[in-house]
Structures are given as structure tokens and as C-alpha cells.
């Protein structure tokens, strides 16, 4: 948990204690106010009865006026306290909401940490793609997406893994062309501002995240549809995307190097076996 998160959590507890103390004082004051209000109204009633029956001395008339002014003052104080209580309730609701958001963010980041640890412990290329797919589904909340890598020989981006759509349906793209190609060329992420209004276009995804090793883009993650329970992206999603892209790119790069080295080792071992027979 970051220092800002700890500060937010500490502030929530302080606000909660403040609210409880103010609520108790407000409740006690309200009870006292109601009793005082009742006593003053009864006194006014007595004075009005005196006036009605035969007039009241000037002192009673003045007392009547003062009592009415005191009631008005107490009513105003009561309204101020109730207003302050409502304000603190609203603030506490905001803090409670923020607390839930922080807990969710921490859980997501912790899950990503665990998933990334698993990701870097795998050397098989296909297994790496499976773990990346699970992360995108479970942590990002995507339903239709693809992982695209650059084929250095062909010079094209092609899908190597997909969920919710066929690999063959994902178009091959040359870096620099269209939305996907532009992301591969610039290394800048693309997010649609209104994912709820997005209509699927395989050449123009709602999200396109570059997979980079330092400044070199080796591929992209493209997302076309979110899970039904996920209506929009929240701030933590962008952080998750950034972390995921970095871990995924490193794991993919490492697994490809391992696969190439294993293939070369097998080839060399085959030649050695032929020569030694």
C-alpha cells in the first residue's frame, strides 16, 4: 500500500471518529433543544393566556418577545448542527467509497504481482500466452481481445493468441498503418474515451497497448469487448495495463529466446548424434 493510500485510510478513521463524536453531541443537543423548545412554547402560551384574559404588563410582553427570539435562535442552531451532520455523513460516504476502491486496487495489484511472478517462472511460449490471456480476462475484465506480435521476417503484426474471436479474423497489420500499426510504430497506448459506445471493428480496437522491451515494440494487446459486469475503465486499469504490458513483453521475449535456443540445441544435438554414429 502506498503512502497516499495509508494517509487516505488514516484520514477515514479520523473522519469516522469525528463523525461519531459530532453525532453524539448533535443527538444530545437535539434532545435538550426539544425540551427547551417545549418549555419555551409553554411559557409563551401562558403569557398569551394572560394577555387574552386581561392584558399583560410590559415586562411580560418583553419576556414574550425574548422567548420567541430565543426559540428562533435555537431552531437556527439546530439546523446548523443537522446541516453539519449531513455534510460529515456525505464526507464519510466518500471516504468509505474511496476505501473500497483502494482495497480493490490493492487486491488487483497483488493479484497482478502473483500472476507476473508465475509469468516469469514459465519458459514455454504457449504457456506464457495462456497466463497472459488469464490475466487480461480476470484482472482487466476483457471478453474479446488478442495478443499480436511482430513477425520480423514478414514485417507484419499477427495474432498469436485470442479470446472471444478467431485468430484468423484478426487482421495482419504493418507497423505504421491504421490504429494498431500506429501504436506499434509509436509505442504509445490507445484508449477509447467511451468504451460503452464502441462498436467492434477489428482494425480499430477500443484499447491497444504496446508490448515493449525498453524502446522496442515487439507486439501489442488489442481489446474489442469488456466483460458484461465491467462497464468502463477505472484509473487503476491504466496502471494495470502498463504493468501487464511490461511483464508480458519481457516474458514473451524470454520464452521466445528460450524456444529458439532449445530448437538450436536440438538441431545441434541431432547433428552430433549423426556424426558420432
**CA–CA separation, 197 vs 15, rounded Å?**
39
Contact 248, 211 (CB under 8 A): yes
Q: How far apart are the first and last CA of the chain?
A: 62
Give mean pLDDT, residues 28-44: 69
Read off the pTM. Answer: 0.58
Give mean pLDDT, residues 143-154: 91
pLDDT band at 186 (very low <50, low <70, confident <90, very high): very high
Name the percent of the chain lying above pLDDT 90: 22
Contact 218, 253 (CB under 8 A): yes
Integer CA distances (angstroms), 236 to 91, 134, 187, 240, in order: 22, 18, 20, 6
Specify the pLDDT at position 224. Answer: 94
Integer CA distances (angstroms), 242 to 198, 209, 248, in order: 22, 8, 10
Tally of residues, the chain: 277
Integer CA distances (angstroms), 179 to 105, 164, 202, 209, 243, in order: 29, 20, 10, 11, 22
Average pLDDT value for the chain: 77
Amino acid at each position: 500500500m502506498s503512502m497516499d493510500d495509508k494517509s487516505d485510510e488514516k484520514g477515514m478513521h479520523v473522519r469516522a471518529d469525528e463523525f461519531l463524536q459530532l453525532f453524539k453531541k448533535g443527538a444530545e443537543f437535539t434532545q435538550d433543544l426539544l425540551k427547551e423548545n417545549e418549555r419555551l412554547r409553554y411559557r409563551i402560551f401562558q403569557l398569551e393566556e394572560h394577555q387574552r384574559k386581561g392584558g399583560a404588563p410590559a415586562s411580560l410582553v418583553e419576556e414574550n418577545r425574548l422567548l420567541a427570539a430565543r426559540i428562533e435562535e435555537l431552531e437556527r442552531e439546530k439546523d446548523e448542527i443537522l446541516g453539519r451532520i449531513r455534510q460529515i455523513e456525505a464526507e464519510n460516504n466518500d471516504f468509505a467509497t474511496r476505501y473500497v476502491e483502494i482495497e480493490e486496487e490493492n487486491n488487483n495489484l497483488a493479484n497482478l504481482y502473483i500472476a507476473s511472478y508465475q509469468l516469469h517462472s514459465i519458459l514455454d511460449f504457449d504457456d506464457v500466452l495462456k497466463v497472459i490471456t488469464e490475466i487480461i480476462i480476470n484482472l482487466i475484465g476483457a471478453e474479446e481481445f488478442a495478443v499480436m506480435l511482430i513477425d520480423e521476417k514478414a514485417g507484419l503484426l499477427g495474432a498469436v493468441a485470442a479470446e472471444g474471436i478467431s485468430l484468423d479474423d484478426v487482421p495482419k497489420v504493418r507497423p505504421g498503418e491504421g490504429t494498431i500499426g500506429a501504436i506499434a510504430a509509436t509505442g504509445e497506448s490507445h484508449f477509447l474515451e467511451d468504451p460503452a459506445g464502441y462498436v467492434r471493428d477489428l482494425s480499430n480496437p477500443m484499447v491497444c497497448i504496446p508490448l515493449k522491451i525498453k524502446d522496442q515494440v515487439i507486439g501489442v494487446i488489442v481489446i474489442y469487448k469488456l466483460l458484461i459486469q465491467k462497464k468502463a475503465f477505472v484509473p487503476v486499469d491504466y496502471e494495470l495495463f502498463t504493468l501487464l504490458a511490461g511483464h508480458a513483453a519481457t516474458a514473451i521475449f524470454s520464452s521466445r529466446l528460450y524456444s529458439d535456443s532449445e530448437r538450436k540445441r536440438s538441431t545441434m544435438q541431432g547433428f552430433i548424434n549423426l556424426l558420432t554414429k
